[in-house]
Amino acid sequence: MRHFTYERFYDQYEDCYFEFGQYVDTNNLALTIVSDTEGPIATVTTNIGRNFGVGITGIKNYSENEGMLDWLYAMGFIKRIVAKIEQGFVEIPVVELDVDLISEYTKEGVLSE
C-alpha cells in the first residue's frame, strides 16, 4: 500500500491512505482519508442520491473540505467531472475517479462496487 501527504488549510497529514465503502441507498463509492498516526482526517465523498455507475461519486468540496476537488485533481485521482448537482446550498461535483490509482492507496487493495 502506498501513502500520500494530505494538506488542508494550515494542516499537513503524513502517511495517509484511503478507506472505502459504499453508500447503502445508491451503492456509490464512499471514500475517507485516514492517517496512520492521526486516524480519520477527511470524508472525501458525499451521497448524491442516485447511482451514476462504477467509479463515479460526489465529492464533498465545501465547508471543512473546501479545496478537496482541486487536491484530488492535482494528485491524479480524478479522471473527469461528470456532472454538478445542486444539493441544498452547495453544488456537488460528480466525478469519475481513477479507481486503479486509488486502489494503490488503500489497505484493501482493490476497489469494487
By C-alpha distance, which of 111, 95, 113, 105 is closest to 33? Answer: 105
> For the whole prediction, is pTM greater than 0.85?
yes
Q: What are phi and psi of 66, to 5 degrees?
A: -55, 130
Q: What is the pLDDT of residue 113?
A: 46
All residues at 6 or more sequence positions from 12 whose CB lies less than 8 Å from its CB, including other chains: 5, 6
Mean pLDDT of 48-76: 93
Q: For the chain, what percent of residues have pLDDT higher than 70?
A: 96
Grid cell 494503490 is found at: 104
